[in-house]
């Protein structure tokens, strides 16, 4: 594959094969003469496609039978409010690990719906870089309705690679930027959710994987489209779902299966991350602020030794077809997001460009 390579954090790169297939089918889906966007979600052909997409996701993630897979509206942030409303009473205590910017937004949203949001721990500075406080220091509540964390902080490039194993409350994970990137023990979670626009499909769409014993407890004021129980009963078709996003996500799942599933993705994602971090660590010109054990394999933030060169770096990178490398507006610097759709060649092209830029400016 050749440039352009899109390193955007999200909406992010989609597999080229998926875009080509969608283009081919755009004007006449399955020989119907009309597009998939113009068909009723109750049409048997649409429903067959939608439920096949669900099955493919179940196969890819080995989702046990006692979990519902919900296709929801409202992206990742929609789930920040859906989670407390669905599985905590207004007078409940809930636990949150604060790993970074997205955890922080989730905490602030939860505060609207429950009496006590207990932040168990946060990010610490170590002499090897930023890290997450060790699990034995977390101030976990005795009676939390759930424990929420974000295993991969997209902006900070900080990841918790081990699933917290000592938590009694149901584990809830915001996997917006890490879902489907490697094998995962779904059965250890109460809820896994993800905004779609990184490893799944278009933005505004989200997937929630909910263990069935957590259904049936929504607060009375929960809006019906965000009620997991209603969406589970209606197979995510309580109201008109985002049919286009569902279709494209289904194509991505098919593509993932063809690539060998999440085990194959995990191996290549590790290779991509190793290549980029190894180069950053070997260079005095670039740096990554995260402790090696907590580095994200999906979002790699890096700084130039001289931030006055940031603009030039981005401009030259873009001219070579290396797109979307500007860091998040909250933190600046650069960030390379290397989700499933990014081929190894893309990371190789980025490293070559970084080497060339370093040589010219030192």
User: Which residues are annotated binding-site positions?
Assistant: 42, 76-77, 102, 154, 174, 197, 239-240
Residues acting as catalytic residues: 102, 174, 198
Distance between alpha carbon 25 and the CA centroid of its chain, in Å?
27
Using the rule CB under 6 A, is 154 a contact of ligand PMP?
yes
- Which of 98, 176, 231, 296 binds ligand PMP (CB under 6 A)? It is 176
Q: Give the up-direction half-sphere exposure of residue 235: CA atoms within 13 A in the CB hemisphere.
A: 12
Residue 82 touching ligand PMP (CB under 6 A): no
218 touches ligand PMP (CB under 6 A):
no
| Strand pairing class (299-304; 286-287) | antiparallel
**Is 328 a residue that touches ligand PMP (CB under 6 A)?**
no
Q: Does 333 bind ligand PMP (CB under 6 A)?
A: no
Q: Which residue has the tokens 């991509």?
A: 272
Q: How many CB atoms lie under 10 A from the CB of residue 149?
A: 24
Q: Note whether 8 binds ligand PMP by CB under 6 A.
A: no
CA pair distance 299, 100, nearest whole angstrom = 13
Q: Which stretch binds ligand PMP (CB under 6 A): 70-78, 229-237, 250-258, 285-293?
A: 70-78
Determine contact, residues 323/8, Cβ cutoff 8 Å.
yes
Q: Give the range of 171-179, 181-189, 218-226, 283-291 binding ligand PMP by CB under 6 A.
A: 171-179
For ligand PMP, the binding residues in 198-217 under the rule CB under 6 A are 203
Provide the total of helices (H) and of strands (E) in the chain, helices listed first. 9, 16
Hey, what's the torsion of the CAs at 76, 78, 84, 89, to 10 degrees?
Answer: -170
Interaction between residue 273 and ligand PMP (CB under 6 A): no
Contact 61, 184 (CB under 8 A): yes
Give 323 or 344: the residue with its C-beta nearer to ligand PMP: 323
10 contacts ligand PMP (rule: CB under 6 A): yes
Which residue's CB is nearer to ligand PMP, number 75 or number 201? 75
Least distance to ligand PMP from the beta carbon of 112, Å?
A: 16
Beta carbon of residue 10, minimum distance to ligand PMP (angstroms, whole number): 5
Confirm or reject binding of residue 301 to ligand PMP (CB under 6 A).
no
End-to-end C-alpha distance for the chain, whole angstroms: 31
Backbone angles phi, psi at 296, to 5 degrees: -75, 140
Residue ranges for the known binding site for pyridoxal 5'-phosphate are: 76-77, 102, 154, 174, 197, 239-240
Q: Give the pair of three-digit tokens for residue 34.
A: 């009309």
Q: Are 339 and 181 in contact (CB under 8 A)?
A: yes
The one among 174, 182, 227, 254 contacting ligand PMP by CB under 6 A: 174
Tell me which residue of 232, 253, 299 sits closest to 61, measured CA to CA. 253
247 alpha-carbon distance from chain centroid: 18
Report if residue 296 touches ligand PMP, rule: CB under 6 A.
no
Q: Kindly tell me which of 150 and 172 has the beta carbon lying closer to ligand PMP.
A: 150
Pick from 195, 202, 250, 266 the residue near ligand PMP by CB under 6 A: 195
Binding residue for ligand PMP, selected from 54, 67, 71, 75, defined by CB under 6 A: 75
Site membership for ligand PMP, residue 76 (CB under 6 A): yes
Bridge pairing between strands 286-287 and 171-174: unpaired
**Residue whose CB is less far from ligand PMP, 177 or 242:** 177
Alpha helices, DSSP H, located in the chain: 16-25, 44-61, 75-87, 101-110, 228-233, 243-258, 261-282, 310-319, 344-360
Distance of closest approach, residue 59 Cβ to ligand PMP, in angstroms: 24
What does the binding site for ligand PMP look like in residue numbers (CB under 6 A)?
10, 75-77, 102, 150, 154, 174, 176-177, 195, 203
């Amino acid at each position: 594959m050749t440039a352009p390579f899109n390193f955007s954090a999200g909406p992010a790169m989609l597999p080229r094969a998926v875009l080509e297939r969608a283009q081919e089918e755009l004007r006449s889906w399955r020989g119907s003469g009309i597009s998939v966007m113009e068909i009723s979600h109750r049409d048997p052909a649409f429903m067959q496609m939608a439920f096949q997409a669900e099955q493919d996701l179940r196969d890819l993630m080995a989702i046990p039978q006692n979990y519902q897979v919900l296709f929801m509206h409202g992206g990742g942030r929609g789930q920040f409010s859906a989670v407390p409303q669905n599985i905590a009473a207004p007078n409940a205590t809930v636990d949150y690990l604060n790993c970074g910017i997205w955890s922080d937004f989730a905490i602030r949203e939860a505060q609207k719906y429950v009496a006590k949001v207990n932040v168990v721990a946060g990010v610490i500075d170590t002499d090897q870089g930023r890290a997450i406080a060790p699990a034995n220091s977390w101030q976990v509540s005795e009676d939390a309705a759930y424990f929420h964390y974000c295993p991969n902080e997209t902006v900070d490039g900080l990841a918790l690679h081990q699933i917290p194993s000592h938590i009694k409350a149901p584990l809830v994970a915001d996997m917006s930027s890490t879902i489907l990137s490697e094998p995962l023990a779904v059965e250890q979670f109460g809820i896994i959710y993800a905004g779609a626009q990184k490893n799944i499909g278009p933005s505004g769409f989200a997937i929630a994987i909910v263990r069935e014993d957590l259904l049936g407890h929504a607060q009375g004021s929960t809006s019906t489209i965000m009620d997991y129980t209603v969406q589970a009963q209606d197979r995510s078709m309580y109201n008109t779902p985002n049919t286009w996003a569902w279709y494209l996500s289904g194509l991505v799942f098919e593509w993932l299966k063809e690539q060998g599933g999440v085990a194959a993705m995990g191996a290549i994602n590790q290779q991509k991350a190793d290549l980029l971090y190894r180069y950053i660590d070997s260079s005095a010109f670039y740096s990554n602020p995260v402790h090696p054990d907590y580095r994200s394999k999906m979002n790699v933030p890096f700084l130039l030794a001289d931030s006055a060169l940031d603009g030039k770096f981005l401009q030259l990178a873009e001219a070579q077809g290396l797109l979307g490398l500007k860091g998040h507006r909250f933190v600046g610097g650069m960030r390379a997001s290397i989700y499933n759709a990014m081929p190894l060649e893309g990371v190789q092209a980025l490293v070559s460009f970084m080497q060339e830029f370093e040589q010219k400016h030192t």
